Amino acid sequence: MTTLEAVWRIESARIVGALTRYTGGDLDLAEDVAQEAVAEALVSWPRDGAPANPVGWLLNTARRRAIDSFRRRAARDEKYALLAQEDTDGGDGHLWDPDRIDDDVLALMFVACHPVLSAEARVALTLRTVGGLSTEEIARAFLVPVPTIQARITRAKKTIAAAQVPFEVPPPSDRKQRLGGVLSVLYVIFTEGSTATAGDSLLRADLAYEAVRLARTLAALLPGEPEVFGLIALCELTASRFPARTAPDGSAVLLEDQDRRRWDRSAIRRGLAALDQAAAAGRGLGPYGLQAAIAAGHATAGSVAETDWDRIVLLYEALGRVAPSPVVELNRAVAVAMASGPAAALLLVDELVARDRLPGSYLLPSVRGELLKRLGRTTEARAELELAARLCGNARERAVLIRKAADLSALQDE
Amino acid sequence: MAKYMLIMRNTDESQARMMSTPMDEMIEHVGRYNEELIKAGVLVAAEGLDDPGQGVVVDYSGETPVVTDGPYGETKELFGGFYILDVTSKEEAVEWAQRMPGFPGSKCEIRRVPGIDEFPQDNEWIQKERVWREQTGQL
């Protein structure tokens, strides 16, 4: 990494944020001129040495490009004529305003995660404009061709311009909902990065780190939002298991089989601290906070046996109330099996089957198969596991299910 | 991502300047810098050390260790405190170090902090350390 890359990594959100405000909310233009400044720096810094104030250099260069652009567009568009005029009064055009820079970064986050955009577009635009990742980096992390990401970002910026999305931190009336949108984008980035079994693992770990970093930034800029801390806690506690979740041959290790000594204690400590922050608001935990509390239940238990499963069941019940989903119900059933035994859990799972809540999912038959196995109903268990294997799209997990089913056949034959 | 320690190294000169700077001013400078680190989502830990005049030095040059009251005496540099940052590269850590409010005469050394995972896991001392880290929630 060069000095330029390091500066860009630290400052890109503030540079693009300040420039977007400067250009009257034109994110597309702001990003273009910022990239032009970076391109210029790539040539001149190695030649003349890095400037004493690299951020100021980038901003001023980008600003000159922006003014050129204002002038070119002035004839066609009154807005740019006004901007070009405003700037002739000298000074730095209040480009770098320390009192506004935090809001600029926040506004950038909210715009990049605006509901007018598709989920995919939000993720790409956030990583590009707020995270400062290059199109190539995003493409590699998501295993998607570079032109696809490029087109996605271009289209996203056009959509924002066409919808006239204002460059601002949303007013309190829709703050909660819009914040939910930002959090879900960060969580998608995190989960994408935390999938251990696909893609370049190093890059993907960087992606997970990026999500945590952006969530920390969000918490610092927008204090007093418990769900931001809930998300940080969830990410930290999930990430704490990364060192233990893959076997030397690259296969996934289930939670119950993980060597807990390999869990990252400092990540757990940070996660628990963030969870305390989320709870301290006294408004009850939201969906992220509750998932984090469940993760904390595992993180602080010495083993599967020592886990407070009754508490985990209660947390899943609470999660099912604030964010109802069949997957949450299935997870609750798994926790019930641990707390009260397989019979009670099977009732819950059978209810999900009866209501056809997870059609086509391999998770349901795989959990049902496990429960039946524990109840000694071997023939039914084998049929369920075989069904699960047929439905499962992931080769490695399918192999595990087939092996489990085969083990049961052996049991029967004895 | 990796952890880097930013080690603040003062000299008698910079230490004297620091001591003569009003406390409020010092706190504000450092506070602003810390806030930048927090907003960037990279700050993991930080500590500053007390007056080196209150320190003690143990010297292992001879056959038996020799204990003298600090400051170091002939040593030119005084360890002043540290930051631990969670960043993607050494260059990013260096960039942050350049922004640290430093007094003329002081220096900052940037060193990577290896994770315990980088040591041989079958070594019993490493295993013991792991247990201790678990029990105390160390980095």
Please indicate whether, in this complex, the C-beta atoms of A6 and B89 are within 8 angstroms of each other: yes
pLDDT surpasses 90 at B40: yes
Question: What tokens were used for A401?
Answer: 């299910």
Following DSSP, what letter does each residue of A199-251 receive, concatenated?
Answer: S-HHHHHHHHHHHHHHHHHHHHHSTT-HHHHHHHHHHHHHHTTGGGSB-TTS-
Residue appearing with tokens 């930013």? B6
Q: How many domains does chain B have?
A: 1
Please indicate whether, in this complex, the C-beta atoms of A266 and B137 are within 8 angstroms of each other: yes
pLDDT of residue A14: 94
Chain A CB contacts of B117 below 8 Å: 243, 262
Please indicate whether, in this complex, the C-beta atoms of A5 and B44 are within 8 angstroms of each other: no
Which chain B residue's Cα is nearest to A216? Answer: B41
pLDDT of residue A91: 47
Choose the closest CB to A2 out of B1, B44, B91.
B91
In 3D space, the residue among B74, B58, B79 whose CA is nearest the CA of residue B9 turns out to be: B79
3-class secondary structure, B48: strand
Choose the closest CB to A265 out of B1, B86, B133.
B133
Instruction: State the angle between helix axes of A326-340 and A342-354 in degrees (0 to 180), rounded to the nearest 10.
Output: 160
Distance between B40 CA and the closest CA of chain A, angstroms: 6
Question: In 10 A of CB A159, how many CB atoms?
Answer: 16
Residue appearing with tokens 């069949």? A326
Domain boundaries, given as residue ranges, for chain A: 3-87, 98-223
Chain B CB contacts of A266 below 8 Å: 44, 137-139
pLDDT of residue B136: 67
Please indicate whether, in this complex, the C-beta atoms of B38 and A1 are within 8 angstroms of each other: no
Distance between B132 CA and the closest CA of chain A, angstroms: 11
- Given a contact cutoff of 8 angstroms between Cβ atoms, the answer to whether A188 and A170 are in contact is no
Q: Which pTM value belongs to this model?
A: 0.85
Residue appearing with tokens 């702001």? A30
Q: Which pairs count as long-range contacts for B15-22, CB under 8 Å and 24+ apart, including other chains?
A: B15/B52, B15/B78, B15/B80, B17/B103, B17/B104, B17/B105, B18/B103, B18/B106, B19/B51, B21/B103
Count Cβ–Cβ pairs < 8 Å, chain A vs chain B.
Answer: 65
Residues 6+ apart with CB under 8 A from B26: B18
Please indicate whether, in this complex, the C-beta atoms of A216 and B96 are within 8 angstroms of each other: no
Measure the N-to-C terminal CA separation of chain B; round to a whole number of Å: 15
ipTM above 0.90, yes or no: no
Four-residue CA torsion sign, A121, A127, A130, A134? negative
Question: What tokens were used for A309?
Answer: 């499963």
Which residues of B lie closer than 8 Å to A, measured between beta carbons?
Answer: 1, 35, 38-42, 44, 86, 88-92, 94-96, 117, 127, 130-131, 133-134, 137-139
Choose the closest CB to B1 out of A6, A209, A262.
A209
Chain A CB contacts of B139 below 8 Å: 265-266
- Given a contact cutoff of 8 angstroms between Cβ atoms, the answer to whether A62 and A11 are in contact is no
* C-alpha neighbours within 13 Å on the C-beta side of residue A171: 2
Please indicate whether, in this complex, the C-beta atoms of A212 and B133 are within 8 angstroms of each other: no
3-class secondary structure, A356: coil
CA dihedral A301→A307→A308→A310, nearest 10 degrees, is 150
Q: What are phi and psi of B31, to 5 degrees?
A: -60, -45
Following DSSP, what letter does each residue of B70-127 receive, concatenated?
Answer: SS-SS-S-EEEEEEEEEES-HHHHHHHHHHS---TT-EEEEEEE--GGGS-TT-HHHH
Longest Cα separation, chain B:
52
Distance between A374 CA and the closest CA of chain B, angstroms: 33
How far is the C-alpha of A399 from the C-alpha of A389, rounded, in Å? 8
Which chain B residue's Cα is nearest to A300? Answer: B134
pLDDT by residue, tens only, chain A of 414 residues:
788 999 999 999 999 999 999 988 999 999 999 999 999 999 999 999 989 889 999 999 999 999 888 888 877 877 777 777 766 444 455 677 777 889 999 999 999 999 999 999 999 999 999 999 989 988 888 888 999 999 999 999 999 999 999 999 999 889 889 999 999 999 999 988 876 445 556 567 788 899 999 999 999 999 889 999 999 999 999 999 988 887 777 777 888 889 888 888 888 999 999 999 999 988 889 999 999 999 999 999 989 999 999 999 999 999 999 999 999 999 999 999 999 999 999 999 999 999 998 888 899 999 999 999 999 999 999 999 999 999 987 777 788 899 999 998 876 644
pLDDT of residue B24: 92
Chain A CB contacts of B127 below 8 Å: 261
Instruction: Compute and round to an integer the Cα radius of gyration of chain A.
Output: 25
Please indicate whether, in this complex, the C-beta atoms of A1 and B94 are within 8 angstroms of each other: no
How far is the C-alpha of A128 from the C-alpha of A296, rounded, in Å? 31
pLDDT in tens, B66-109: 888 876 655 667 888 999 999 989 999 999 999 998 888 899 99
Structural domain harbouring B116:
2-136
pLDDT of residue A291: 97
Distance between A74 CA and the closest CA of chain B, angstroms: 36
Chain B CB contacts of A269 below 8 Å: 137
Please indicate whether, in this complex, the C-beta atoms of B39 and A221 are within 8 angstroms of each other: yes
Report the residue of B5, B28, B42, B91 to disrupt the A interface, i.e. the one with the largest count of A CBs within 10 Å.
Answer: B91
Peptide linkage before B71 cis (omega within 30 of 0): yes
How far is the C-alpha of A70 from the C-alpha of A86, rounded, in Å? 10
pLDDT of residue A414: 47
Q: List Cα–Cα distances, A97 to A9, A219, A349, in angstroms.
A: 20, 21, 57
